[in-house]
Structure 1
Amino acid sequence: MKNIFTSKLVWISAASLVTIAFISIILFHSTKTSVQVSANGDKELVRTHADTIDELLTELHIEKGEHDELSHAMSDTLEYGMDIEYSQAKTIEVADGASEEKVYTTASTVGALMKEKGIEVKEHDELSHKKNESLKNGMTLSIDRAFQVTLEDGTDEEKVWTTAATVDELLKEQSIAVDEDDRLEPKATASLDASTPVSITRVEKVVETKEEEMEYPTVTKQDGSLLEGKEKVVSKGKAGLIEREYEVTKVNGEVEDRVITKETVKQESQDRVVAVGTKEPEPERQTAVASASASNTSSSSSSGSASSTLQMEATAYTADCAGCSGVTATGVNLNTNPNKKVVAVDPSVIPLGSRVWVEGYGTAVAADTGGAINGNRIDLHVPNKSEAFGFGRRSVEVRVLD
């Protein structure tokens, strides 16, 4: 009986211990505090015996850094149903133009960080990331600040916004092509800032072909059948035709240079041949001629005119011709005086500086010479080529006034 009693006592003791342990466990868990913890956006319901926020974070293995954000003070007492928010700060490198700064933030997006730090990005600035992009620890955020540059392209000038670091980058940004012959200032590799104007001088080289008249020379030959001092046109001569190829350089649309690169004679010119008399007059004839000359001189003097009249072959020319300088043999600048009445003469026939009257042309000054102007030949200056071609070649009366 004693053994049975002892056995029952052992079982009752064991059952009591189990019951006490079970009750203790129930009491332990029933005394836990339930709180909502949001750590870096992840929410979790936590049951804890911690008395303070600090103890709770230690229990959750969370170490609060200097720049981290916590919804409560570390010393706050935990209460049932408390909502605790914790955000760990991220380290972000911000390169704003030429300045660089390391910032700490708990913002979740690029835009939120910029708002938090008061960073403004204007219309033409360039931001390395989109504003709705999530921030990541260690991220580098770059802002290229735009500035205005004066851009002159040929005859067009404008101010453009850019973030380009060099002239070449600006041209690519603006989709501007610069040809080999164009002139770029400053050079493509030069650094760019608001005080650096960019200029493109547009250079165009084109080939032009023109047919131009070749002047014909005057050839004289002695003729014993003509009296000395007399001349006779044996052959009128004919202008030739030459085709000239020019390389024309245009700068911003204006002609800067014109160079002959090729010449092709299409039609040879024909010489003008003049017979010059060498026959000496007979003595009687000479006396008669002298008498007549004296009579004419006397008659001219009595009428008050000191002029002499010649029948000459006339052509017309302009200062704007191939190989012409536009300045006459006596220094008259026909480029600046395109309407001046000037004639080219043979000085042995009409002295330079003489005032002459030309039939169909008017009063002019003998101020020029020409390689083909020999003997009774005269060349009349006109303002343009169309008038020169229109005049052609004709016989005119020329009166030497003084």
Structure 2
Amino acid sequence: MFQNSRTMVSALVPKIHFRKLALGFVIFFIIAFPILALNLKTINVQVDGKTISLTTVFNTVGQALTYSNLEINSEDLVIPARDKKITKGMTVLVTRSIPVRLAVDEQTLSARTTAKTVGKAIEDLSNRYGLQIKDVDEVNLPRSEALKSQMSIEVRRSVPIVLQADGKTIDTYVAPRTVAEVLKKFNIILGAKDKVSLALNHILAANEQVKVVRVAERLETIKSEIPYQTVTQPGDYPVGLPDKVISRGSNGLQEQTMRLTLEDGKEVDRQILGQKIIVAPTNELISRGAQTTVSRGGETINFQRAYLMRATAYCIPGGITKTGAPVQWGVVAVDPNVIPLGSRVYVDGYGSARALDTGGLIQGNRIDLYMDSEAAASSWGVRYVLVYIQ
């Protein structure tokens, strides 16, 4: 009998334990329900074009959304902010973010953004991830294009370059690419003979300069004079006297076909392709003195050259010449720039003499002859004579 009593007690223990738990739950619910009821708040969530009524016991917007079944992403835009305390009847606006792929610096980033355009998405992700993408960097899509889910955006970093062409200088930015690609990008079409400062397959680096020189060729027919030549023949008169024109010369006329090469509008070369003479030139014929000897009073005078000079006479007894020699018959004053001092000369109408003196008025083709008397000097006067330098 004792054994049966123990079995009955053991069967009663679980039942008593369950009843205690159930009673505790009922008591907790009775106590907690009023508290929970007092903390319940209902907000209106506008998302995906719908307004959804959401009842929550949480205090902040972020907590309410996190523990809801709305599947809100951390990148979604929430207004008011997620840390804003909830008030009854509050309206919360949720803008869904969409997934995109951004490739930059040879890396691809998968992220979400609420931006509406490609440009705004780049700005958002650049700021968020510290990518420092600039407005001048190149993008594979127009920045104004509407953003779509799973869109792939490719960014190429740009570097500053200088482009000179057609009289313009363009300071711009381009992603590293060949010179040929840059010219195509700016619609610069090269002619067959145009020159470029860098090879077309050269990949541009920062601050490099590309200069395009336009090369053009054109044909021109040009008429020009053919200068006449001067032909001399020996004349039967002393060396040194002025040439005598026997017949006047005249220029000819020729026509030339030229190929002109121009770089940026400036002529840099010309080549004669052909020419023809329209009027031949006529040479000028002159006679040039060839005599180096003359006969005077049965005597032959040899000389180097002759001058036609204006001759005057003077008489200063006892005078001293420029060279220190005393004045006397046969002493003449000359311009040393024409006849060197000390030269032997022969003066027509006077005879042999030595150039030993100078004078303030004796310049150029002038000569002053010493006479033995004032009367002889006066009688000589002024005359033009041939002076032979021996």
Larger Rg computed on CA atoms: 2
TM-score for both structures, normalised by structure 2: 0.45
TM-score for both structures, normalised by structure 1: 0.44
